[in-house]
Amino acid sequence: MKLFSGRVFLLIAVLVTLHGCGFKFRGSQPLPEGIQQVYLADPKEYSPLKRALKEHFDFYQIDYVANIPVAQKDQTIAIYLYPDSLDRRLLSLFSTGQVAEYELVLTIKLQVIFPNNEPQIVEFDITREYQDDPDAILAKSRELDLILKEMRNQAADRIVRMLPSLDSREH
């Protein structure tokens, strides 16, 4: 019984310490009040990044609007996506000279405009390593599609999370 109560005390002490220093699980911190509605523009109507961003908006309970009503111009954040680009960098070769491993670099560029503020251009990269196998072309093609989807989801999450730091209205 003493061992059990010692563990409980230790657990409570760790939780109180973590809470006291401001630790929060990733994704558990709500966005500020001013980020409630976002206009999203993309040259490609059905781009994978735009779809991923819409899913993240739903998760964070941010309203997505297809156009900015005149009455809400001073309340709506506008995000303009540029076409993303994917680069492959050679990391290693098989002894036969065929590519064994790539580094995939997805470059994301966007413009964010907060009401009554100057436009801000944001650009960042998401990287992953990808092992190629010339004997399993079909499986590797599917794996590449899954990796790209995961990279775009990570980019969407990063965009939503950076919005509060880009907002200069409260500073």
For strands 85-93 and 120-131, give the pairing. Answer: unpaired
**Comparing C-alpha atoms, which of 41, 37, 57, 15 is closest to residue 111?**
41
Q: Smallest Cα–Cα separation from 123: which of 76, 170, 85?
A: 85
For 3-22, how does the pLDDT look when each residue is reduced to its tens digit (9 = 90+)?
557 677 777 877 777 667 66
Q: Any idea where the domains of the chain sit in the sequence?
A: 36-166
The share of the chain scoring above pLDDT 90, in percent, equals 30
Q: In the numeric block, which tokens belong to residue 95?
A: 């002894």
Q: In this model, does residue 33 exceed pLDDT 70?
A: no
Contact by Cβ (8 Å): 147, 131: no
CATH 3.40.50.2000 corresponds to the domain 36-166: no
- The answer, yes or no, to whether residue 97 has pLDDT greater than 90, is no
The whole-number pLDDT of residue 83 equals 92
* Region 109-138 average pLDDT: 85
Distance separating alpha carbons of residues 77 and 35, to the nearest angstrom: 7
The pLDDT assigned to 70 comes to: 59
Predicted local confidence at residue 69, as pLDDT? 61
Least confident of 22-36, 78-92, 155-169: 22-36
Task: Please answer whether residues 76 and 37 qualify as being in contact, where contact means their C-beta atoms are separated by less than 8 angstroms.
Answer: yes
